[in-house]
Amino acid sequence: MKCTMKLSVCPPVSLSVSPNLQQFFTAASVSLTCEGQLGSDGWTVKRDTGSATESCGAGGRGFGRLNGSSCLLDKQSEPISGVYWCEGEAGEKSEEVNITVSDKEVILEIPALPVRTGSDVTLRCKKKIGGTVAAYFYFNGRPVGPKSEKNITINVQQSDEGLYWCATDEFGSSPQSFLRVRDVYDTTTISPSATKPPPPPTTTNLNSPPSTSSSSIISPVAALGSLGLLDLILVAALLFWNKKQERTLSSSLSQVTYQDMNFRQSANKITDTHSHVVFSSPRTLQG
């Protein structure tokens, strides 16, 4: 069954590298295979060397040779440094894998495929002739340890993703390669040699109360926060209204007092007028 991107339920096809390494000496034997849960019919191993894009087994313009469903790079078709991937008939692509072919005296044994967080990965510095050699290991330009060692083992975390290489006093240094790290729940293709199974699912006790999710807690808190803000706005509005009423009442009282004073002054004037009339001296009229 062909697996294309048009089928949303179709898992991606991935490129498998055997042995699972990024660095090789010249004339090494490497097998590249496109793998998918629903098959890999119609998928081809391709590479980009920086100057051209080539397909495996495509005659004069290709590289390697087909060996069943795999693309084989060996002494007859030497591997070449480049970026390798699987490509479908519709142009869909798998995740890329960097392969470095070196003629140096030492190379770094480092996984070609991504590794999961929490898994153990062992890095070695390998000589062209005669196994591994003690070396200093470097990560993003910094030494991993204070002394030379034949290998180092890393319990991989996301922060361990980056460039690694090894260096020796006698044989020089290896090329640099990038270690890719994936989260334990990522479904992307992972290095099988450096994979730990995810923890088993926890069983639910039917007699225990159901756990409260973070979303169910956040919603009531948000609602209470909104109600609290509304209460503050209402209290502020009431205080403002009360102060306004107090100012209005104070103004009214002062106005009433002022009018009352005017009334008393007017009454005093009338009293004075009548007093003048009553107590004025009588005059006799002569006719």
Least confident of 120-134, 137-151, 201-215: 201-215
Which residues, other chains included, contact 156 with Cβ-Cβ below 8 Å and sequence gap of 6+? Answer: 115, 116, 117, 118, 119, 120, 121, 179, 181, 194
Looking at residue 74, its pLDDT comes to 87
* Cα dist from 248 to 125, 234, 238, 243, 253, whole Å: 91, 21, 15, 9, 9
SS3 45: strand
pLDDT: which is higher, 79 or 100 = 100
pLDDT: which is higher, 216 or 100 = 100
**Cα–Cα distance, 168 to 171 (Å, whole number):** 5
| The two three-digit tokens of residue 175, written as one number | 């090329």
Question: What band does 58 get if pLDDT is binned at 50, 70 and 90?
Answer: confident
- Residue pair 91/128 in contact by the 8 Å Cβ criterion: no
For 202-246, how does the pLDDT look when each residue is reduced to its tens digit (9 = 90+)? 333 333 333 333 344 344 444 445 556 666 777 676 676 666 655
For 244-272, how does the pLDDT look when each residue is reduced to its tens digit (9 = 90+)? 655 554 444 444 444 443 434 443 443 44
In this prediction, residues 83-99 reach a mean pLDDT of: 94
In this prediction, residues 21-49 reach a mean pLDDT of: 89
Q: What is the DSSP letter of 65?
A: E
- Tell whether 1 and 35 lie within a shared domain: yes
- Residue pair 116/132 in contact by the 8 Å Cβ criterion: no
**Residue 282 reports pLDDT greater than 70:** no
Amino acid at 188: T
Q: Give one DSSP letter per residue of 91-146, joined into a string.
A: S-B---EEEEEE-SSEEEE--SS-EETT-EEEEEEEESSSSB--BEEEETTEESSS
Q: What is the value of pTM for the model shown? A: 0.62
- Tell whether 2 and 95 lie within a shared domain: yes
In this prediction, residues 113-119 reach a mean pLDDT of: 96
In this prediction, residues 26-35 reach a mean pLDDT of: 92
Residue 243 lies in a domain: yes
Question: What band does 41 get if pLDDT is binned at 50, 70 and 90?
Answer: confident
Residue 203 Ramachandran class (φ > 0 left, ψ -120 to 50 alpha, else beta): beta
Looking at residue 199, its pLDDT comes to 41
Number of domains in the chain: 3
Least confident of 14-18, 73-77, 218-222: 218-222
In this prediction, residues 59-85 reach a mean pLDDT of: 86
- Tell whether 10 and 30 lie within a shared domain: yes
Least confident of 81-85, 91-95, 223-227: 223-227
- Number of Cβ within a 10 Å radius of residue 60: 4
**Cα–Cα distance, 180 to 163 (Å, whole number):** 9
Residue 29 lies in a domain: yes
Residue 75 lies in a domain: yes
- Tell whether 189 and 170 lie within a shared domain: yes
- Tell whether 116 and 176 lie within a shared domain: yes
Looking at residue 157, its pLDDT comes to 97
Q: Which of 79, 103, 127 is the last residue of a domain?
A: 103
- Tell whether 166 and 185 lie within a shared domain: yes
Looking at residue 220, its pLDDT comes to 44
Domain CATH number, residue 126: 2.60.40.10
**Residue 117 reports pLDDT greater than 90:** yes
**Cα–Cα distance, 146 to 175 (Å, whole number):** 21
- Residue pair 109/21 in contact by the 8 Å Cβ criterion: yes
- Tell whether 97 and 12 lie within a shared domain: yes
Instruction: Say if strands 136-139 and 162-168 run parallel, antiparallel, or are unpaired.
Output: antiparallel
Structural domain range at position 30: 1-103
Looking at residue 48, its pLDDT comes to 94
Looking at residue 242, its pLDDT comes to 62
Looking at residue 229, its pLDDT comes to 65
pLDDT: which is higher, 141 or 197 = 141
**Cα–Cα distance, 242 to 7 (Å, whole number):** 69
**Residue 56 reports pLDDT greater than 50:** yes
- Tell whether 139 and 192 lie within a shared domain: yes
- Tell whether 178 and 163 lie within a shared domain: yes
**Residue 170 reports pLDDT greater than 90:** yes
In this prediction, residues 13-18 reach a mean pLDDT of: 94
